[in-house]
């Protein structure tokens, strides 16, 4: 019943009326094994024909995936015709080390960095900047800007970052990142369209004019999403967990439900004027592909989808 009310409250266009003007990007994590690498490249092969704006690759906690992130991003830059974006964090690295990594990216033809502070290592008592490092994401953005004319994305938190005193301080922080030279913000995942709309309004009121792209998390695993949501203090509505009840042994039904839930979120965001979506693919292409398909994003690009329609 709650789901129906939510749908009615935010109803927008039918799927057939969405599309032709939607842009997407996809996020992957660097593979740890040969099998995972094969899976990643299959996922990229599935999603690349949708002409995404960029494919981004995460950076493991404390720089643990530094080499794997670099290898994956460089291969995307080399072997696909989609711009590659490298995530980079300030954790446990000096400014010189981070500048050197960024220089290597530039030399490899990578022009887009997702600039992040990162999290404290496991067991540490809160985040502490490296003594010779960039203090936070805003400082990293400024550092990158001094090096090369990178395209720079930063993180944004519609439900407030756990380290922030309050939502206003969190928005001030986002504004500092944009003022330091970031081109766009990509949000942490969330499940209610209003969460995004309220945040977008508050950002506009705070003078933030850069685009804020919603980060969409298709629910490949409920347990996994619950764990991540607890860490980043994202609300998982009760209606959402109820939708997945009884599906533990039904992977196909679970996929259909997951695609429906994420596509509904995107459809309602589209109704509120959102035209760009960033997908946390978890290296599983099929879900993101299905959601994009519902949004009218097809192989050959938006223009072709429009013509076909
Ligand atoms: P910042 O924007 O620097 O700030 C984090 C918090 O600290 C904010 O609440 C801010 O208000 C506060 N703060 C910062 N500076 C100050 C200051 N001077 N005084 C007071 N308060 C301050 N993590 C990874 O490890 N690897 C990844 O690849 C990765 N990719 C991500 C991609 C996206 C799209 C998102 C949304 C998150 C990603 N993260 C990743 C998680 C991110 O690293 C964490 O959320 C981290 O805790 C904060 O990083 P940030 O860049 O938002 O930090």
Indicate whether 6 pLDDT > 50.
Answer: no
Tokens 């996922």: give the residue.
43
pTM for the model stands at: 0.94
Under the banding of pLDDT at 50, 70 and 90, the label for residue 124 is confident
Indicate whether 229 pLDDT > 90.
Answer: yes
Indicate whether 2 pLDDT > 90.
Answer: no
CA of 289 to the centre of ligand 1 (A): 28
At 74-111, the pLDDT tens digits run 999 999 999 999 999 999 999 999 999 999 999 999 99
Indicate whether 1 pLDDT > 80.
Answer: no
Output the six-digit token pair for 42.
């299959």
Pocket lining: 161 vs ligand 1, CB cutoff 6 Å: yes
Which pLDDT does position 307 carry in this prediction? 43
Under the banding of pLDDT at 50, 70 and 90, the label for residue 125 is confident
Under the banding of pLDDT at 50, 70 and 90, the label for residue 16 is confident
Which pLDDT does position 11 carry in this prediction? 64
Pair 217, 225: CB distance under 8 Å: yes
Q: In the Cβ-directed half-sphere of 51, how many Cα atoms lie within 13 Å?
A: 14
Pair 223, 248: CB distance under 8 Å: no
Report the nearest-CA residue for atom 8 of ligand 1. 164
> How many whole angstroms separate alpha carbon 242 and alpha carbon 223?
13
At 159-177, the pLDDT tens digits run 999 999 999 999 999 999 9
> How many whole angstroms separate alpha carbon 122 and alpha carbon 191?
27
Output the six-digit token pair for 142.
């400024």
Which pLDDT does position 10 carry in this prediction? 53
Q: Is 92 a catalytic residue?
A: no
Pair 10, 267: CB distance under 8 Å: no
CA 114 to chain CA centroid, Å, is 10
> How many whole angstroms separate alpha carbon 239 and alpha carbon 250?
19
Phi, psi angle pair for 115, to nearest 5°: -95, 120
pLDDT above 90 covers what percent of the chain? 83
CA of 155 to the centre of ligand 1 (A): 6
Which pLDDT does position 14 carry in this prediction? 75
At 236-285, the pLDDT tens digits run 999 999 999 999 999 999 999 999 999 999 999 999 999 999 999 999 99
| Mean pLDDT across 118-128 | 88
Which bin fits 236, alpha (ψ -120 to 50), beta or left (φ > 0)? beta
Report the nearest-CA residue for atom 52 of ligand 1. 155
Which pLDDT does position 18 carry in this prediction? 77
At 19-36, the pLDDT tens digits run 679 999 999 999 999 999
Which pLDDT does position 20 carry in this prediction? 74
DSSP 8-class letter at 61: G
């Amino acid at each position: 019943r709650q789901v129906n009310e939510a749908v009615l409250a935010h109803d927008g266009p039918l799927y057939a009326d969405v599309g032709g003007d939607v842009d997407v990007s996809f996020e992957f994590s660097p593979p740890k094994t040969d099998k995972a690498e094969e899976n990643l490249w299959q996922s990229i092969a599935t999603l690349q024909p949708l002409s995404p704006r960029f494919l981004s690759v995460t950076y493991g906690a404390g720089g643990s995936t530094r080499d794997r992130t670099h290898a994956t991003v460089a291969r995307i830059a080399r072997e696909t015709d989609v711009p590659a974006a490298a995530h980079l964090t300030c954790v446990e690295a000096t400014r010189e080390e981070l500048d050197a990594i960024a220089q290597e990216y530039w030399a490899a033809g990578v022009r887009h960095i997702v600039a992040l502070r990162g999290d404290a290592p496991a067991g540490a008592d809160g985040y502490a900047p490296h003594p010779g490092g960039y203090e936070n994401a805003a400082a990293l953005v400024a550092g990158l800007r001094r090096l090369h004319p990178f395209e720079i994305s930063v993180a944004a938190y519609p439900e407030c970052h756990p380290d922030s005193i309050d939502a206003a301080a969190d928005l001030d922080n986002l504004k500092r990142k944009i003022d330091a030279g970031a081109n766009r913000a990509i949000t942490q995942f969330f499940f209610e369209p209003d969460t995004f709309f309220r945040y977008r309004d508050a950002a506009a009121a705070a003078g933030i004019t850069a685009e804020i792209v919603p980060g969409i998390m298709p629910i490949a695993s409920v347990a996994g999403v619950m764990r991540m949501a607890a860490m980043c203090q994202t609300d998982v509505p009760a209606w959402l967990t109820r939708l997945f009840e009884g599906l533990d042994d039904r992977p196909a039904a679970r996929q259909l439900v997951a695609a429906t839930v994420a596509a509904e979120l995107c459809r309602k965001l589209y109704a509120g004027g959102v035209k760009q979506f960033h997908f946390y693919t978890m290296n599983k292409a099929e879900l993101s592909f299905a959601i994009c398909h519902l949004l009218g994003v097809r192989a050959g690009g938006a223009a072709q989808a429009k013509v076909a329609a």
